[in-house]
Structures are given as C-alpha cells and as structure tokens.
C-alpha cells in the first residue's frame, strides 16, 4: 500500500458505466486511478473525460491515467474488475499474474441476456466464486457493489445505499469497506465469498423493481448504525 494509506486503484474495464462511476468517486476520495481498457487509447480518452468532469465539479484530485487492462492491474494496489459477465473469465485470466498478492474487487453480476431480470446464477455458485477459484488463494477476492447503480456512482450526489461485501479474508473485506465509505456509501461484512451469490442474485430483483417503479433502487440495511 502507499505510505499515505490511499492505495492506487486499477480499474480493469474502467471505460464502462460502472468503472467510470468508481473512477470519479475514488479519485475524489484521493486515490490515483488507473483506468484500464482492452485498447489503451480508449482508456486515455476515458481518463481525460473523467478528469474534465471532476474539473467542472471543482474537485482537486490525484491523477486519473488511462492504460491497457494488464498495466492497470499491474500498477493498481487494489484492482477492480468491471466487465460484463461474458468477459469475466477471459479478463481474469489475462490479469491473473498481475494481481497475485492483491485485493481484487469483483463487481460482476452474472446476468444472462436477454433475461437479465431473472436470477440465473452460474453452476459455480457466483461470479465471485469463479474469480476466487480461477485466481487462486494468493489473490484476495472481494465481491461488492452489485446493487449500486452506475448512474448513481457517476452523478454528483449522495448515494444512500448500503453495500454487501463478501470475501474469504476479513482484512481484505475491510480494505474494500473503507473504499466504499470513502465513496459515500456504507459497506458491511457479509461473509465468505460463497455469499457473493446473494448480492449477485439481488441485482435481478432490483432490475425488476427498477422497471416497475422507474427508478434506480438500492439496498438499505436497518438495525445497524
Ligand atoms: N451498470 C451498472 O449499473 C452496474 C451495477 C452493478 C454492477 N455492475 C456490473 O459491473 C460490470 C460492468 O458493468 P458496466 O455496466 O460498466 O458494463 P459495460 O459498460 O457494458 O462494460 C464495461 C467495460 O467492459 C469492457 N468489455 C466489454 N466487453 C468486453 C469483452 N468482451 N471483453 C473484455 N472487455 C469487455 C469494455 O471496455 P473496453 O472496450 O474499453 O475494453 C467496457 O467499457 C458488470 O459485470 C455488471 O454486471 C453494473
């Protein structure tokens, strides 16, 4: 970790909706952000747009850089993976070497288009389980943020949402909870990576609610301060 206790953040697939939202909030919270893409020029464009957006909001922040996915994974002290489920396994395989010994945050929802409003978890149990098995025990996989809308992360607004955080290592979960809190949400220890299935399944439930009520619904726990 950096000596200032603000780890640099790699975002693999960071040019997408969720990755951009995370980049804005983590840069605002004082982290250097490495936006990754399959095409480094696309990442540079995204990084420039995000930097311009924060300038427009009057937010001072460490650099946001754009580079290829593997370099973002290599340089990030904590690495987020924000790609569609169809790209999850090949993307993890491509960064496996770069993330050994690190905390890897998996936000993937295993949606199977076109029926994204139906819970369809994979035979392995969850995307989180797939990631932990594929990457091996030296990578501290933490699953989180499946129930937060990218539109909310990108907007300059408070997010009154709670985040279920699962993973096999408590210290890794805490690292991610600290990042979530620095982005203006509450994060909670929700058990081992096996429990990632619950948060991943909830997203399809929220998609139903969003369609019905024309909103971006989130999760809020009660009985806990
Ligand atoms: N959107 C939300 O509100 C939301 C909320 C919670 C969780 N999530 C989860 O977050 C993840 C990202 O969601 P998103 O909405 O940001 O997705 P997205 O915008 O569709 O895609 C994110 C990025 O993934 C890369 N990508 C796309 N197809 C790929 C492929 N075949 N191989 C490798 N990379 C590919 C692209 O980057 P390059 O073209 O630059 O490589 C793209 O910009 C998903 O797993 C989703 O379930 C999303």
- The CATH fold assigned to 9-213 is Rossmann fold (3.40.50)
Probe target for ligand 1 pocket from 10, 14, 18, with the most ligand atoms within 8 Å of CB: 18
CA of 15 to the centre of ligand 1 (A): 8
Residue 85 has pLDDT above 50, yes or no: yes
| Residue 64: closest CA among 19, 90, 32, 36 | 32
- Ligand 1: residues with CB < 6 A are 13, 15-19, 37-38, 42, 82-87, 91, 107-109, 111, 145-146, 148-150
When pLDDT is cut at 50, 70 and 90, the band that residue 3 belongs to is: very low
pLDDT digits over 187-218, tens only?
999 999 999 999 999 999 999 999 999 999 99
What's this model's pTM, rounded to 2 decimal places? Answer: 0.97
The domain spans of the chain are 9-213
| Residue 106: closest CA among 153, 144, 161 | 144
pLDDT digits over 43-79, tens only?
999 999 999 999 999 999 999 999 999 999 999 999 9
pLDDT digits over 171-186, tens only?
999 999 999 999 999 9
The 3-state secondary structure of the chain, one letter per residue: CCCCCCCCEEEECCCCHHHHHHHHHHHHCCCCEEEEECCHHHHHHHHHHHHHHHHHCCCCCCCEEEEEHHHHHHHCCEEEECCCHHHHHHHHHHHCHHHCCCEEEECCCCCCCCCCCCCCCCCCCCHHHHHHHHHCCCCEEEECCCCCCHHHHHCCCCCCCEEEEEECCHHHHHHHHHHHHHCCCEEEECCCHHHHHHHHHHHHHHHHHHHHHCCCCCCCCCCCC
pLDDT of res. 4: 54
CB 183 within 8 A of CB 25: yes
Q: Whose CA is nearest to atom 21 of ligand 1?
A: 16
Q: Long-range contact list for 147-150, CB < 8 A, 24+ apart?
A: 147/199, 147/202, 147/203, 147/206, 147/218, 147/219, 148/185, 148/218, 149/216, 149/218, 150/16, 150/17, 150/18, 150/20, 150/21
* Mean pLDDT on 148-160: 96
Sheet-wide strand order for 33-37: 64-68, 33-37, 9-12, 78-81, 103-106, 140-143, 162-167, 186-189
């Amino acid at each position: 970790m950096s000596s200032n206790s603000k780890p640099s953040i790699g975002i693999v697939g960071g040019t997408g909706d969720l990755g951009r939202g995370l980049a804005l909030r983590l840069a605002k919270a004082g982290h250097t952000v490495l936006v990754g893409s399959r095409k480094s020029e696309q990442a540079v464009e995204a990084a420039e747009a995000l930097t311009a957006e924060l300038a427009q909001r009057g937010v001072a922040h460490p650099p946001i850089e754009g580079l290829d996915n593997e370099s973002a994974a290599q340089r990030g002290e904590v690495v987020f993976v924000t790609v569609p489920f169809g790209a999850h396994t090949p993307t993890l395989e491509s960064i496996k070497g770069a993330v050994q010994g690190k905390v890897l945050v998996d936000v993937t929802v295993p949606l199977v288009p076109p029926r994204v409003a139906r819970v369809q978890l994979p035979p392995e149990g969850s995307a989180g389980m797939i990631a932990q098995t594929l990457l091996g025990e030296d990578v501290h996989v933490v699953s989180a943020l499946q129930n937060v809308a990218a539109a909310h992360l990108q907007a300059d607004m408070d997010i009154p949402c709670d985040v279920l955080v699962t993973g096999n290592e408590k210290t890794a979960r805490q690292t991610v909870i600290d990042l979530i809190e620095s982005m203006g949400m509450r994060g909670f220890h929700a058990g081992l990576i096996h429990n990632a299935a619950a948060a991943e399944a909830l997203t399809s439930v929220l998609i139903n609610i969003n369609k019905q009520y024309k909103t971006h619904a989130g999760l809020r726990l009660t009985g806990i301060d």
